Structure 1
């Protein structure tokens, strides 16, 4: 029995050894190497290589919650294009306007960068989603009825989307004309701050000096849907007013910028074509349309001074702009009564224009000449850190516009007089943790204007209760988290 067991064990051992020897001759499949995520060491914090590529990527987001209160007053809406008297205006009582509102905003961004023989190739996308209610949606115009506007709405759009390569920038970016661009303030002040679709080239001269030429979408700088005011004067006045024609020449922007350790300085210039047309109407050899063109332009200068001698992070911005026929280069709010997120001011609305079309008295229907608007704006903002986690920003702006002979035709016929506006505000900002900020902003705005009137005649009186020189107070609370 013991002999039999020994034979069986010996046989099993021989078979096992033979099997192992044979297996040693077979090919062995090796596990695929793991391609771990690697941090990019040439792009700055937050970037890592997309596995299997030489492209670095960064993914980020921002969440913003905001509430606002604005002391509105009774307002008088503007004359619709083509109307010629006060009957075209509507009085909106203050109680029919929302004075408070809420905003919830999310921004999602992806930034990719690749090293090439021509420098860094960059592609950037940022998508913005808003939920707005109350005064953010300019609601409350229907006496409290549950309209879509009054109930709030969703907005979703591409905020930024561009490619940069070898000095070329193509896509949707901040206009190259802009400098301060409402860098600190929540409510807009008088300065240029517009996102644009562009084709641009930047040449690095050296020593911190750069020069940019940018071709930008003109339509983003046209004022309102119609874009132009219209004055009916004479029996043959058209009934459809005047408006911007289709875009032919985009806006042309040139910039010189100088960046140093002490801060930055920038000079900007822009050309803005005004193509105006009116119609349809009978006459003009049966064509039913007529038009005329003119040229607008704007210039701007700004400087940012870093002030570390006061506190780390302190800086001062100063900027000024002049425009002739190109209002949105002076102030990116569409007229002096309006802010970016609210109606802002009540009273008589100073509806600024790039130009006002004035019908040629005694001429055929639809013929007109253009009176361009002219104006300037200046602004300043000072940011000071009392502690690394608490800072304060004070800011303000002044602007004015005038319209030449359009100010010598009564406002009930579409004339527009001189206007000036003051804005001042202050922010209290607390950063209790990295990339988390609580902000409280207070703003005051005052508009002074003249009512356009016919020569040697007094201006037509405003309706009872409508202020010619309105003002308003605003308070805004914001919580923002970036990651």
Structure 2
């Protein structure tokens, strides 16, 4: 029995072995399915450090970013209105994507940058960015004007065969606050604007650029005496929203004694009618860089606002009897050689800049020198950059004693014509490395803005007729800030520690002085009057700011 079982098991084993051999032979005849090869990320050294090939393509990509914390302190004792914030804070993130492909025409590049920030405090929360739609404010009682979030497409451009198209830094700019933390000095600095440009290389180190740039980001609004609330001026119904129509008065007729008796309102909202045209000639060499740039822009207004005028021609002096129609206003203005209320003038600016590398002091050292002059182009000259742009009048800092006039232009209420402002700025900045880990910058700037003589006085004549805030000529007018010519001095220094690569820990101190080029203004922080005249006046305002920063780039 045992022998029979043993023989059976041996036979079964032989059968299984034979079957396995047959299956193996058949499997060998089948096609072999290979595993998909793994394509590892390859370094793209031709495009620079940090670039790698996008798998399956010949495009090189670099992803980078930034995290930043800032805090500031500025002494302000005035707590009226929105003033009184001593401390300021900001947290910022930045993400960059740089894609490059080599072609028969050269490098095809696309660059993207997104920035977002949470900013607190009147100084750190940028009124400029809020006015141009990049920042979104909180609306709480204790937060409005001092808490805002900021989200912006900072860069999104394509470069190919000398062409740059998209959102990029203005080709007019040169220094652009490269050595500063706060970016306070006067000077053009437009890191984000929409443009179409062509750059031609002209021999060793030379390049020339012609650009068509977005005009909306380089406008400063017209100065207007005031916008009367609905119902206070006949025919003004619906015009209290000054962001849709910004009324500025024009005197069309006078009495025998020379006082105004007929006026109408011109809409000074600037339309986007022509791009800004920018040209730049640049030279780059081992010793540094030099650039000469120029820009031209249109400065335009709409026509008369229908039924917005008033007249005292048929009534007692000082009384308003009814609106002056747009047609009648245009006819009266035509007698002065102006075809209609709508007009266009042209502002312009020129700038020269020089950068010198100073390796004989220390590796990485350099100095910038820059100057600019413009008419009707405050954002191009960069006057009062720290105060903020895209506003016709601002205080030097929150809680300042008097207002600066920062308009690109004014409608002269007597002639009805556009009067362009004039401004110039000069800046210098020096960077020095004490050691590879420690560096400092010292910087300063001076600027002035002025308006055509007589325009300021002309605004005083519209007071009794249109209910303007402008006072009549006299002692009160002498201490009024309307269209004052002003100057601004900024100086500062910083100390930055970089204990490891791409980490900055720094502190910066700034002095800001703003003054009048003539006369005195009423101190709005001490609104005391005697017989209708201000008791306290100022012709200069000085303040300081301290800012600290911790920043990591990767």
TM (normalized to structure 2)?
0.75
Shift in CA distance, 227/258, structure 1 to aligned 2, threshold 3 Å: farther
Is 2:223–2:411's contact at 8 Å kept on the other side of the alignment? no
CA 1:190 to 1:100, structure 2 compared with 1: closer, same or farther past 3 Å?
Answer: same
Sort the Cα spacing of 1:193 and 1:443 in 2 relative to 1 into closer, same or farther, 3 A. same
- For residue 50 of structure 1, what is the aligned residue in structure 2? 54
1:290 aligns with 2:330: no
- Cα offsets for 1:113-158 (capped at 9, x unmatched): 111111111111111111011122269xxxx983442561211111
CA contact (8 A) 2:210 2:279 kept: yes
Summarize the alignment of residues 384-423 of structure 1 with structure 2, pairs less than 5 Å apart: 384-405=432-453, 406-409=455-458, 412=470, 415-423=482-490
Name 1:369's counterpart in structure 2: 417
Distance 1:198 1:297 in 2: 18
Q: 2:431 aligns with which of 380, 383, 387?
A: 383
Partners of 2:414 and 2:458 within 8 A in 1: no
Q: Is the 8 A contact 1:337 1:350 kept in 2?
A: no
Match of 2:8 in 1: 4
> Are residue 23 (structure 1) and residue 27 (structure 2) matched?
yes
Aligned mates of 1:44, 1:227 — CA distance in 2: 49
**Does structure 1 residue 191 correspond to structure 2 residue 216?**
no
Offset of residue 462 of structure 1: 7.4
Residues 207 and 95 of structure 1, relative CA distance in 2, 3 Å threshold:
closer
- Say which SS state the counterpart of residue 12 (structure 1) adopts: helix
Aligned residues: 447
2:106 to 78, 95, 119: 119
Distance 1:231 1:433, change over 3 A: farther
The 3 A distance-change label for structure 1 pair 39 and 343 is farther
Aligned counterparts of 1:462 and 1:306: Cα–Cα separation in 2: 55
- Residues 179/304 of structure 1: CA separation in 2 closer, same or farther (3 Å cut): same
Instruction: In structure 1, list runs of 5 or more residues that go unmatched.
Output: 75-91, 362-367, 454-459
How far the C-alpha of 1:258 sits from its partner, in A, is: 0.4
In 2, Cα distance between equivalents of 1:168 and 1:151: 40
Change (3 A) 1:407 1:125: same
**Counterpart check, 1:435 vs 2:502:** yes
Aligned to 1:251: 276
Give distance in 1, aligned partners of 2:509 and 2:397. Answer: 13
Compute the displacement of 1:7 (Å): 2.6
Find the counterpart in structure 2 of residue 329 from structure 1.
Answer: 380
Distance verdict in 2 for CA 1:193–1:95, change over 3 Å: closer
| 1:338–1:26 CA distance, 2 compared to 1 (3 A) | closer
Task: Say if 1:231 and 1:154 are closer, same or farther in 2 by CA, change over 3 A.
Answer: same
Are 1:217 and 2:199 matched, yes or no? no
Indicate how the Cα distance of structure 1 residues 231 and 180 shifts in structure 2: closer, same or farther if over 3 A, else same.
farther
Structure 2 match to 1:347: 401
Q: Which residue of structure 2 lines up, in the alignment, with residue 84 of structure 1? A: none
1:461 shift after superposition: 8.9
- For the residues of structure 1 that align with 2:69 and 2:533, how far apart are their CA atoms? 39
**Partner of residue 245, structure 2:** none
1:4 offset after TM fit, Å?
A: 3.4
Query: For 1:21 and 1:465, how far apart are their aligned partners in 2?
Result: 108
Structure 2 match to 1:311: 362
Please state if 1:360 is matched with 2:414.
yes
Post-superposition offset of 1:244: 3.6
Secondary structure at the aligned position of 1:19 is classed as helix
The structure number with the bigger radius of gyration is 2
Distance in 2 between the 1:435 and 1:33 partners? 37
